[in-house]
A and B are shown apart, each in its own frame.
Chain A
Amino acid sequence: MNKPATSNTATFLGMPPFPVAAREALANSQLRRNLRHATHTIRSKRARVVEELDDWEQLRLAGAAIKDDVLGNLGGYLEQLEESLTRAGATVHWARDAAEANQVVIDIARSHKVDEVVKVKSMVTGEIELNAALEAAGISAWETDLAELIVQLGNDLPSHILVPAIHRNRSEVRDIFLREMGKVGRPAEADLTDEPAQLAGAARRHLREKFLRAKVAVSGANFAVADTGTLVVVESEGNGRMCLTLPEVLISVVGIEKVVPTWTDLEVFLQLLPRSSTGERMNPYTSTWTGVTPGDGPQEVHVVLLDNGRTKVLADEVGRQALRCIRCSACLNVCPVYERVGGHAYGSIYPGPIGAILTPMLRGVGTDEATDALPFASSLCGACYEVCPVLIDIPEVLVHLRGKVVDSHRGGVPGALQAAMTGASWTLRRSSRLALAQRFAGLSGRVLGRRGLIGRMPPPLSRWTDARDAPAPSRESFRAWWARTDGGRSGAGSTAAGSTAAGSPSDTTDEGGEPR
């Protein structure tokens, strides 16, 4: 049962070593500038198209309610989905964890004697590290989303759910294409410029060769309709359509929380998702398919229903709402912490506010220090909740998880101290929040009571209490802390404790976030 946690943890550690130089580069102003530009652009687009719908709040309520109904009756819906899929000619597989899901995909690929598959961008295959598993089995997995292609060719990590290569600028992309494309297929033209349209053209030609010859494709799904057995993929570039249409065999890995009860329910999500995600009224392409359609598209269709920690999240009554997530990434784009540290700092395929709650629950609190630090990577400003199309109260879950982290560290290892302090730093900011926090899981009572953090503390902790009344420290200190401790991952607990607290995320919230 702990297997998923282990394999999850390996998500970023198990991938090709991330050069130190690259890591330093990521901490630089390029990343900051790109991220800032990206998040601000997308969020203002989102705001504009959300504004257009006067029933937006009702849509959010309905989205949350539909998902809650699904989660509350998940077993029945999964059985119904399985039955519908089977009736439509699909083969349904179940996978308890990443290893099982990967094995299913490998076995199917092997049964067709292929040494390559094409892939549609999908969070879940990132979560289970499918590419690495396929590679180990001698099967190349070609990412076909432009950003994922940039990330894959650059031997890099995604930094944003929606625009995973946002940390790369155009000349870097050009260099990567010129250097790497020829090694794995059709090379980029030598006179390639760094115009985005040219770069997209190079990707089109490079990938078309792969689309036309691929026998097996792997996708995720945004939604799986229980009563019809219909899967839905929402995308922009058309690489999804290529993968879903041209190969003979299609394997879709679908988290068990992706179920919606009926086809009609999509009328809600196909409004919520594109507007929240890319800030468009509708994304360029949405594909739906129901098992096998004779004479059209893949004639062998597999669906892998994946748990990999989701039932653990389901068992947490407060945290369960995270399973409503439709991966729109709106919460990333409004998050002041995300904007500063970028996606890599979260050490997981799921970055930003949703990652800060989902990752610890999928892996399990107490798995490791890096995971336990995630619920503290927030100023609890609430902006994420404001924009979430399915009303996930991320601050509520963060506070809840902070309590669990503190509980799991009874005995006072440095990590726990660090955690408790960061938690308290937030709690103390406003008395109203103190009251709020006390309502949740009794966290603040335990933290404050046991640690006695109200008032002054003896050195070296006094540095922390002193900071309360001082002007907010420069945000550099927070970044410096992330850089030094690898986003808290290195477990540099005791040495980092002072500066962690002093430079905690809550202090660096200099805009947008804090209700005034």
Chain B
Amino acid sequence: MKAREEILRRVRSALVADRQGRSSDAGGDQGKKDQGTSRGYAHTRDLPDRLALFVERVEDYQASVIRTRPDDVAAAVAKSLVGARRVVVPRGFNPSWVPQGLDIVLDEPALRADELDAVEAVVTSAVVGIAVTGTIVLDHTAGQGRRALTLVPDVHVCVVTADQVVGDVPEAVARLSSSVNAGQPLTWISGPSATSDIELDRVEGVHGPRTLRVVLVG
């Protein structure tokens, strides 16, 4: 506990001058601070076609999107699996969205990481889609699986429904707050993993699934 008390003491003594009222010319910082508590940024964005933008922005990341009607989801998922046959489907995933003829692997009991590594693809739902940034967010509740499921297999097919798609980050953060308060982890996914570490050449797919396919319902 010694380090804790010492750090908190240092923090408080560093701020002592503030408490005593500082001189007005302490630096340009001060002025900014006074006008700064504003939250004048946009909390919602006015988007003419939210879903079209979502599709466009997801595709911007080299992830493909199929838009489909509610009764055609299974077909869209089948198409998105690009030939993968051994597929993990998490508990709680809508059964009518699962295509026929797959070799379905269940995460019960929980698969070891190396077992998961031997699976070709994973199909999940999501909790939020963000139009402006082309992001899908998983809170890893029913239908989405624990985090490792959407990480180790090389293909991730993610079904997002139209009502889950919000405009921009502030709306997403607001929607996700109940998940966070419930202690759920979140994974925000914007395209497949990528690196530009070698000569700034963008390479799609390093450690996460190298293929991300989004099925947008509605």
Q: Using CB atoms and an 8 Å cutoff, list the residues of chain A in contact with chain B.
A: 34, 37-38, 41-42, 54-55, 58-59, 61-62, 64-65, 68-69, 72, 74-75, 78-79, 82, 88, 93-96, 100, 144-147, 150, 163-166, 168-170, 173, 196-197, 199-200, 203-204, 207-208, 211-212, 225, 228, 230, 236-239, 241-242, 244-246, 256, 263-264, 266-268, 270-271, 274, 278, 280-291, 293, 295-297, 305, 307, 311-312, 314-315, 317-318, 320-321, 391, 393, 396, 400, 439-440
Enumerate 24 A-B pairs (CB-CB under 8 Å) in ascending A order: A34-B199, A61-B35, A62-B36, A68-B36, A163-B196, A170-B199, A196-B198, A200-B203, A200-B206, A239-B206, A263-B173, A271-B41, A278-B196, A281-B133, A287-B185, A291-B183, A293-B185, A296-B140, A296-B146, A296-B148, A296-B185, A307-B10, A311-B11, A320-B29
**B6: CB under 8 A from chain A?**
yes
Question: How many angstroms from the CA of A211 to the CA of B112 in the assembled complex?
Answer: 12
Q: Which residues on the A side are within 8 Å of B36 (C-beta)?
A: 61-62, 64-65, 68
Contact A284 B192 (CB under 8 A): yes
Contact B3 A72 (CB under 8 A): no
Contact B18 A72 (CB under 8 A): yes
Contact A307 B7 (CB under 8 A): yes
Contact A317 B26 (CB under 8 A): yes
**B208: CB under 8 A from chain A?**
yes
**B68: CB under 8 A from chain A?**
no
Q: Which residues on the A side are within 8 Å of B11 (C-beta)?
A: 74-75, 78, 256, 311, 314
* Cβ 8 A contact of A270, one of B17, B117, B169, B183: B169
Question: How many angstroms from the CA of A203 to the CA of B17 in the assembled complex?
Answer: 51
- Determine how close the nearest CB of chain B comes to the CB of A39; give it in whole angstroms: 10
- Determine how close the nearest CB of chain B comes to the CB of A260; give it in whole angstroms: 12
Contacts A65-B33, A65-B37, A196-B201; A245 near B4 (Cβ below 8 A)? no
Contact A203 B206 (CB under 8 A): yes
Contact B200 A166 (CB under 8 A): yes
Contact A37 B200 (CB under 8 A): yes
Q: Which residues on the A side are within 8 Å of B201 (C-beta)?
A: 170, 196
Contact B208 A285 (CB under 8 A): yes
- Determine how close the nearest CB of chain A comes to the CB of B195; give it in whole angstroms: 5
Interface residues of B in 174-218 (CB under 8 A from A): 174, 176-177, 180-181, 183-201, 203, 205-208
Question: How many angstroms from the CA of A207 to the CA of B146 in the assembled complex?
Answer: 21
Contact A146 B185 (CB under 8 A): no
Instruction: List 13 other contacts, CB 8 Å, given A59-B41, A440-B27.
Output: A58-B41, A61-B40, A74-B11, A75-B11, A75-B12, A146-B197, A147-B195, A236-B193, A237-B195, A271-B168, A287-B188, A288-B180, A400-B27
Contact A282 B188 (CB under 8 A): yes
Contact B207 A239 (CB under 8 A): yes
Contact A290 B185 (CB under 8 A): yes
Contact B3 A94 (CB under 8 A): yes
Contact A318 B27 (CB under 8 A): yes
Q: Which residues on the B side are within 8 Å of A228 (C-beta)?
A: 180-181
Contact B38 A58 (CB under 8 A): yes
Contact A242 B207 (CB under 8 A): yes
User: Considering the complex of A and B, which 10 residue pairs feature the smallest CB-CB distances, nearest first?
Assistant: A238-B208, A65-B36, A238-B207, A315-B14, A238-B193, A311-B10, A296-B146, A286-B188, A282-B133, A147-B197
In the complex formed, the residue of A with least CB distance to B186 is A288
* Cβ 8 A contact of B170, one of A173, A208, A267, A391: A267
- Determine how close the nearest CB of chain A comes to the CB of B22; give it in whole angstroms: 6
**B151: CB under 8 A from chain A?**
yes
- Determine how close the nearest CB of chain B comes to the CB of A320; give it in whole angstroms: 7
Question: How many angstroms from the CA of A164 to the CA of B12 in the assembled complex?
Answer: 35
- Determine how close the nearest CB of chain A comes to the CB of B137; give it in whole angstroms: 9
Contact B192 A211 (CB under 8 A): no
Encode B45-75 as 1/0 by CB contact (under 8 A) with A. 0000000000001001100000000000000
Question: How many angstroms from the CA of A274 to the CA of B135 in the assembled complex?
Answer: 12
Contacts A96-B6, A146-B198, A197-B203; A264 near B183 (Cβ below 8 A)? no
Contact B32 A391 (CB under 8 A): yes
- Determine how close the nearest CB of chain B comes to the CB of A336; give it in whole angstroms: 19
Interface residues of B in 95-149 (CB under 8 A from A): 110, 113-114, 117, 130, 132-135, 140, 146-148
Q: Which residues on the B side are within 8 Å of A296 (C-beta)?
A: 140, 146-148, 185
Q: Which residues on the A side are within 8 Å of B133 (C-beta)?
A: 274, 281-282
Contacts A72-B15, A271-B169; A238 near B180 (Cβ below 8 A)? no
- Determine how close the nearest CB of chain A comes to the CB of B146; give it in whole angstroms: 4
In the complex formed, the residue of B with least CB distance to A100 is B3
Q: Which residues on the B side are within 8 Å of A163 (C-beta)?
A: 196-197, 200
Contacts A212-B113, A321-B29; A267 near B169 (Cβ below 8 A)? yes
**B13: CB under 8 A from chain A?**
yes
- Determine how close the nearest CB of chain B comes to the CB of A362; give it in whole angstroms: 13
Task: Please indicate which of the listed interface residues A246, A263, A282 has the most CB atoms of chain B within 10 Å of its own CB.
Answer: A282
Contact A58 B40 (CB under 8 A): yes
In the complex formed, the residue of A with least CB distance to B10 is A311
- Determine how close the nearest CB of chain A comes to the CB of B205; give it in whole angstroms: 7
Contact B148 A246 (CB under 8 A): yes
Task: Please indicate which of the listed interface residues B26, B181, B191, B199 has the most CB atoms of chain A within 10 Å of its own CB.
Answer: B199
Question: How many angstroms from the CA of A287 to the CA of B60 in the assembled complex?
Answer: 21
Contact A393 B28 (CB under 8 A): yes
- Determine how close the nearest CB of chain B comes to the CB of A50; give it in whole angstroms: 13
Q: Which residues on the B side are within 8 Å of A212 (C-beta)?
A: 113-114, 117
Q: Which residues on the B side are within 8 Å of A284 (C-beta)?
A: 61, 189-194, 208
Contacts A266-B173, A314-B15; A282 near B38 (Cβ below 8 A)? no
Contacts A88-B183, A230-B180, A282-B134; A237 near B193 (Cβ below 8 A)? yes
